[in-house]
Amino acid sequence: MHLEIKPLTPELAADFFDFFENRAFTDNSPYRCYCQFYQMTKEQEKAAFDKVDGPDIGRVARKVAERQIDSGILQGYLAFADGVTIGWCNANDKANFPIESCTGERFYAPAKKREKAVVCFEIAPEFRGKGVATALLLRVVADAKAEGYIAIEGFPVVRNKRYEWDNAGPIRLYEKVGFIKVAETEKNAVMRKELR
């Protein structure tokens, strides 16, 4: 397998949507999204989805993600195997997140170009366990360091056993790339890697 990691740009939006619509959730995953919710406030979510139901929810979610990609609010990396998108990592400047996302997460920090947050991974089922998430996270670290960030944080769910749909990534993934646990909430560890 020839694996290539590319930062999400508006020019790669078609690859992003191809992945989420055709490969990301083919294994009865409990998730169905375009990774757009972390970048939305509760008010933005309500305005976008309040009067929408049924099949229109997916159409509206895609439109929200399209706007986020075009404006640079949704950032991350796509993994390609032999030219086909097979993975995604939502990695963004903490200043690009709302103070509290519509999902209740708090990744926000006010200073731009200081810290990044890694908040989600999605890997096509047949490519899991093959190092794709590790390759994505290594690219996030390399680019953040080159761009002058001082640290990256990830927020994996604390679990006693492997979970197939671990969209925040397992703690061991972060440890493998040199992150250390600096805090723990009721359900999440805060994994941090200093870059200076």
Q: Return the CATH number at 188.
A: 3.40.630.30
pLDDT at 13: 98
Q: Which domain holds residue 122?
A: 3-194
Distance from C-alpha of 127 to C-alpha of 75, rounded to nearest angstrom: 22
pLDDT at 159: 84
pLDDT at 165: 74
Residue 66 carries which side chain, given as an amino acid letter? E
Note if the pTM is more than 0.75.
yes
pLDDT at 118: 98
Report which of 135, 143, 141 is spatially closest to residue 154, judged by C-alpha positions: 141
All residue ranges of the chain with pLDDT < 70 are 30
For 107-136, how does the pLDDT look when each residue is reduced to its tens digit (9 = 90+)? 999 888 899 999 999 999 999 999 999 999
pLDDT at 30: 65
What's the total number of domains in the chain?
A: 1
Distance from C-alpha of 86 to C-alpha of 1, rounded to nearest angstrom: 11
